[in-house]
Amino acid sequence: MFWWEGQGPGGLRVAFTDTSAGNLALHVGDDPAAVRSNRNALEEQMGIASGSLRFMEQIHSADVAVAGGQDVPVADALLSPDGSVPLAVMVADCLPVLFAGTRPGGAVTAAAHAGRRGLLDGILLNTVAALRSAGAQDLMGWVGPGVCGRCYEVPEAMLADAQHLPGAESRTRWGTPALDLPAAALHQLKSLGVSAVQVPGCTMEEPALFSHRRDAPTGRFAGLVWPGL
């Protein structure tokens, strides 16, 4: 069910699912009851209460929302100011980026959806700013699996549009223009003072990960951050 899992400060847990967890998205044409069953099974595996995992309606924006209540916010990053809310971000080529930081008496967490447009528009910058506004210190970040710089072919004009993102310029294995979103995200996070690591896995190359570019229409896997027991 988990492609990768690890720990953050203060007993926080972080993980990325794979296809064995099933599709976790309600917007890709699957039976909603089947998706909810997948989500319930995931929550059971995580050891959290049924219905407590919080998702977003992701639109490739640079907007950050605060998790709370049962509402599904329209945003591309979700923040838990006290680290108590289990957070999810769904992807199938874009980057799932998880955050955890400490604050006096607790933790601060966030989950962000960082695709090409979001990186260009500042979704990671805005998420880090929101974390620090909530009191986060000693920030850690995990850049999850996404399409790699050897596979993410783009037109020359799109490559030129990303020139202000250090690390983004790349070439495919077959020699055409490409974007390296993981490298760009890592560079950006480190420039912001976030201790960031990359979780291996290219969605285009790994059949155990959903990839919209490879298999559209397809499901979505998730990046998760939640308080441990």
Which of the four pLDDT bands, split at 50, 70 and 90, describes residue 70? confident
Determine the length of the chain. 229
Give 151's pLDDT tier (boundaries 50, 70, 90). very high
Task: Please report, to the nearest 10 degrees, the dihedral formed by the alpha carbons of residues 102, 107, 112, 114 taken in order.
Answer: 10
Q: What is the mean pLDDT of residues 153-171?
A: 92
Give the pLDDT confidence score for residue 218 in this predicted structure.
95
pLDDT tier, 168 (very low <50, low <70, confident <90, very high otherwise) = very high
Paired residues of 138 in beta bridges: none
pLDDT reported for residue 10: 85
pLDDT tens track for 73-124: 999 999 999 999 999 999 999 999 999 999 988 899 999 999 999 999 999 9
Q: What is the pLDDT of residues 17-64, one digit of tens each?
A: 999 999 999 999 899 999 999 999 999 999 999 999 999 999 999 999
71 pLDDT tier (thresholds 50, 70, 90): confident
Higher pLDDT, 129 or 71: 129
Q: CB neighbours (10 Å) of residue 214? A: 17
Q: What would be the CATH architecture of the domain defined by 2-227?
A: 4-Layer Sandwich (3.60)
DSSP state of 58: -
Q: Where are the domains of the chain?
A: 2-227
Q: CB-based burial of residue 117 (10 Å sphere; 0-12 exposed, 13-18 middle, 19+ buried)?
A: middle
pLDDT exceeds cutoff 80 at 69: no
Distance CA 3, CA 126 (A): 27
Q: Are 142 and 199 in contact (CB under 8 A)?
A: yes
State which amino acid sits at residue 53.
Answer: L
- pLDDT, tens digit, 9 for 90 and up, residues 182-218: 999 999 999 999 999 999 999 999 999 999 999 999 9
Res 45: pLDDT: 96
User: In angstroms, rounded to a whole number, what is the distance separating the alpha carbons of residues 85 and 98?
Assistant: 13
Backbone angles phi, psi at 37, to 5 degrees: -65, -40
Amino acid at 65: A
Is it the case that residue 160 has pLDDT exceeding 80? yes
Whether 163 has a pLDDT exceeding 90, the answer reads no
CB atoms within 10 A of CB 48: 18
How far is 125 from 115, CA to CA, in rounded Å?
Answer: 13
Whether residue 229 is predicted with pLDDT greater than 80 in this model: the reply is: no
